[in-house]
Amino acid sequence: MNIEILHMIEGAKKAKGTTVIIDVFRAFSVESYFFASGAIEIIPVGDVNLAYELKEKNPDFVLAGERKGKILPGFDVGNSPSDVIKLDCLGKTVVHTTSAGTQGIANAVNADEILGASLVNARATAEYIKNKNPENVSLVCMGLEALSQTEEDNLCALYIKSILEGTDIDLQTEIENLKYTSGAKFFDKAQNDVFPEEDFHLCTQVDKFSFVLKMTENGIMKKIDV
């Protein structure tokens, strides 16, 4: 198994084989919590206008997403897991657009299959890959707004890689360090309206969920239990 760690939009474009788009803060943490709240499917889109169109045609859809971390006008919810866990999404379809994670999906044009991952479902993702044993695995860290690398996405990629290779990393120490690096915004009171502290803790609940986020051929994210 050839495992490659790639970064941001260019990394997504280069990704091949089984491709894991990683966004810990917060896209695929949010999608995991949506499924845990009862959603039956998620439609990740890169274009905001498409998200609005889907909502207009399907008023029952939940419209979720952000740009620069902030909820978009007219959206039902932003990109915050602490908001998602308050929702009853039983049987709902969610339209989801973000600055990084969903952009990775949109650009992974050469992938054989696409998975979405964060720390909350990292082991499930790795176990799914181990069971399939593909020749090539691409772990794409989407970073901050898909413009710069972030510690949490790189950590998630290294964690998944370590499981696939049977090695160990000091995950808890690295998560603690996130409070002072890319996760510091969640502890800045001036930014708590956009980045609540609870989101940090929800996004770093390692292996909370035993399911995989898998894109179908018709562009819909589904939950697959592992």
The pLDDT value given to residue 40: 98
Show the DSSP H helices in the chain as ranges: 8-14, 27-36, 48-57, 81-84, 101-107, 122-132, 151-165, 171-178, 197-203
What is each CA distance from 99 to 45, 142, 177, in whole angstroms?
10, 9, 24
Q: What is the pLDDT of residue 87?
A: 94
What phi and psi values does residue 123 have, to the nearest 5 degrees? Answer: -65, -40
- Name the pTM for this structure: 0.95
> Token digits for 217?
């051929």
For residue 136, the model assigns a pLDDT of: 98
Burial of 214 (0-12, 13-18, 19+ CB in 10 A): middle
2-217 fold: putative 2-phosphosulfolactate phosphatase (3.90.1560)
Helix (H, G, I), strand (E, B) or coil at 225: strand
pLDDT of residue 152: 98
Strand partners, 141: 7, 22
The confidence score (pLDDT) of residue 42 equals: 98
CA distance linking residue 188 with residue 183, whole number of Å: 10
Edge-to-edge order in the sheet of strand 136-141: 2-7, 136-141, 17-22, 111-117, 211-215, 221-225, 41-44, 93-97, 62-67, 70-71
133: region left, alpha or beta (phi > 0 left; psi from -120 to 50 alpha): left
> What's the residue count for the chain?
226
With the C-alpha atoms ordered 12, 220, 182, 168, is the resulting torsion angle positive or negative? negative
Could you read off the pLDDT tens digit of each residue along the chain, which spans 226 residues? 999 999 999 999 999 999 999 999 999 999 999 999 999 999 999 999 999 999 999 999 999 999 999 999 999 999 999 999 999 999 999 999 998 999 999 999 999 999 999 999 999 999 999 999 999 999 999 999 999 999 999 999 999 999 999 999 999 999 999 999 999 999 999 999 999 999 999 999 999 999 999 999 999 999 999 9
The whole-angstrom distance between residue 57's C-alpha and the CA centroid of its chain comes to 26
Q: What is the pLDDT of residue 159?
A: 98
